[in-house]
Amino acid sequence: MTRSIAFPEGFLWGSATSAYQIEGAVDQDGRGPSIWDTFCATPGMVRGGDDGSVAIDHRNRIPQDVALMAELGLQAYRFSVAWPRVQPDGRGPVNQAGLDVYRELVDRLLAAGIEPILTLYHWDLPQALEDDGGWPARDTALRFADYAHAVGEALGEQVRRWGTINEPWCASMLGYAAGVHAPGRIEPGAAVAAAHHLLLGHGLAVDALRAAVRPDADIGITLNPYPVVTDRDDDADRDAVRRVDGVANRLWYDPILRGRYPDDVLADFEAVSDLSHIRDGDLAIIARPIDSLGLNYYRRHHVRFRRGASVGKPWGQWPGSPDVELVDPPGPKTDGGWAVEPEGLTEALVRLWEEYDPPPLYLHEIGAAYGDEPGPDGEVRDDRRIQWLEAHLEAAADAIAEGVDLRGIMVWSLFDNFEWAEGYAHRFGIVHVDYDTLERTPKASARWYRRVIQANGLPPAPDPV
Ligand code: FCB
């Protein structure tokens, strides 16, 4: 039975996407190549050899897609700007045709009464910058600030909500340590430097945006916290928990919210890096005040100690910690294979709130991969997604009841889309996309969500359809 829950007045309900996952049109507007174009073109990196060259062709369907958002009753829409559309080489003059794409999107959103939430970087680094070293190179952080300033100047009057970077943990550790995301490098020391430069780029971009956008702007970053747990009661396993929590959570929270790196994480990193990329003054920039903090939640990390666990993938996702392994917990899973763990969402929110005293929080992504397809009547009955979302809304409400200042929720994702290394195999959308015809069909979850938004809580009224 769903509990009856009223969310706080003014709670912001919306849905999220990112540029490379939906836009397609990789050769339009003078867009330059990104590291994801290159990664997709590298055999064996993306399931099925899929790529984002067409994706769901959102770039050419902005009017219809915004009309659909309005029909679904969204109050906000979180999207990202493709850096290589705005600066094809990642530096130098702005490409007006690229910027115009986002101007059109923002104008249409505002005309439809939908609040834009703009993320500057959701992983599509211009390839030219990767060729010059990518995020392990300090210059990339400086280039990111220039790009932030350019987008701020162009859209800073219209857009109030700004996010710098989406999930820097993924961008650094999956991209440069594990090598399972673009640019596919397995270089633990470089990953540690990439993490620092993503943080530095964030701080520099906060300054650049403040100088360019409206004074009442809300500027933040989007992190993906994981509660980290073990099912064993051993010192080595507890140390594995400490190490993974360090890289997944504290590596981001501490610099941004406290202006310092956690000592134990730096000590772990010393196995793979001399840390000379950290310069005097950097942490003060990284800790620039932010107005809100975005969080993405999908599941917990379950970990154990196992000697040499990440040998072969030399240092896995945890640079300096080769003896840590992630294990699959028992219990229900989504079709993407991720454990269903709504209590973890409450844990992540409460822990952050109580330990770090952050600014107001928003969930920038919660959602689940379920592969339901249209039935003979054309309806997509994704009841499992509705149950997943319901459980996670309850978990968010539990955190609010414990005092967490959570102000809004964006469901991942508005559309089925290109799910990175999984290609098109995992469907996260509340709107189904037929990848042959690109036809959009709202799923039962989209109609359910519209009624949640109308009710500002649970349970929503029954589906009249
Ligand atoms: C998050 C990403 C998002 C999407 C979801 C499933 O890590 O930010 O782009 O891939 O996972």
Task: Please state, in angstroms and rounded to a whole number, the distance separating the CA atoms of residues 405 and 74.
Answer: 21
- Centre of ligand 1 from the C-alpha of residue 215, in Å: 30
Instruction: Tell me the pTM.
Output: 0.98
Task: Please state, in angstroms and rounded to a whole number, the distance separating the CA atoms of residues 121 and 140.
Answer: 12
Nearest CA to ligand 1 atom 10: 419
Pocket test for ligand 1, best of 296, 363, 411 (most atoms within 8 A of CB): 296
Mean pLDDT calculated for residue range 43-66: 98
Say if ligand 1 is within 6 A of residue 18 CB. Answer: yes
> What's the confidence (pLDDT) of residue 34?
99
Mean pLDDT calculated for residue range 66-75: 99
The ligand 1 atom nearest the CA atom of 369: 6
> What's the confidence (pLDDT) of residue 315?
55
- Centre of ligand 1 from the C-alpha of residue 158, in Å: 26
CA distances from 324 to 23, 158, 272, 411 (A): 37, 46, 15, 31
> What's the confidence (pLDDT) of residue 312?
59
> What's the confidence (pLDDT) of residue 130?
99
- Centre of ligand 1 from the C-alpha of residue 454, in Å: 26
Pocket test for ligand 1, best of 412, 424, 426 (most atoms within 8 A of CB): 412
Asked whether the predicted pLDDT for residue 380 surpasses 70, the reply is: yes
Say if ligand 1 is within 6 A of residue 240 CB. Answer: no
Q: Which residues are catalytic?
A: 167, 365
**Tokens standing for residue 434:** 């037929």
Judged by DSSP in three states, 86 sits in helix
- Centre of ligand 1 from the C-alpha of residue 364, in Å: 10
- Regarding beta strands 361-366 and 406-412, do their DSSP bridges make them parallel or antiparallel, or are they unpaired? parallel
| Number of C-beta neighbours around residue 435 at 10 A | 15
Angle between helix axes 383-401 and 444-455 (nearest 10 degrees) is: 30
Structure confidence by residue, pLDDT tens digits, 275-298? 999 999 999 999 999 999 999 999
Nearest CA to ligand 1 atom 9: 18
Cβ contact 237:303 at 8 Å: yes
- Centre of ligand 1 from the C-alpha of residue 281, in Å: 32
Say if ligand 1 is within 6 A of residue 416 CB. Answer: no
Q: Mean pLDDT for the chain?
A: 97
Say if ligand 1 is within 6 A of residue 254 CB. Answer: no
* Per-residue pLDDT band at 310 (split at 50, 70, 90): confident
> What's the confidence (pLDDT) of residue 32?
98
* Per-residue pLDDT band at 311 (split at 50, 70, 90): low
Nearest to 141 by CA among 60, 74, 208, 86: 208
Say if ligand 1 is within 6 A of residue 169 CB. Answer: no
- Centre of ligand 1 from the C-alpha of residue 17, in Å: 9
Structure confidence by residue, pLDDT tens digits, 139-166? 999 999 999 999 999 999 999 999 999 9
- What is the torsional sign of CA 189, 191, 193, 196? negative
